[in-house]
């Protein structure tokens, strides 16, 4: 079985990102600045990707004595 390199579940993230961009454009229209709304949507989408990838980590409950406390 060959791996395509495309992580499972990424399609849902991409669809959610597209939805966030549409919502960001609408929020931007309400704020009279579409670029601001799109920028906010992109920032939220990046945060969502980081949280998603962190949540799907393959070592839940890992205890690391060398961890300095910096966590998402």
Length of the chain equals 72
Tracing tokens 């939220």 back to the chain, one arrives at 44
pTM for the model stands at: 0.60
pLDDT at residue 20, as a whole number: 84
| For the chain, domain boundaries | 21-54
pLDDT at residue 28, as a whole number: 87
pLDDT at residue 1, as a whole number: 46
């Amino acid at each position: 079985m060959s791996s395509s390199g495309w992580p499972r579940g990424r399609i849902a993230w991409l669809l959610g990102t597209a939805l966030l961009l549409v919502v960001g454009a609408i929020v931007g229209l309400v704020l009279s600045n579409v670029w601001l709304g799109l920028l906010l949507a992109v920032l939220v989408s990046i945060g969502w990707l980081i949280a998603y990838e962190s949540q799907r980590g393959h070592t839940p409950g890992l205890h690391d004595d060398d961890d300095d406390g910096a966590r998402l």
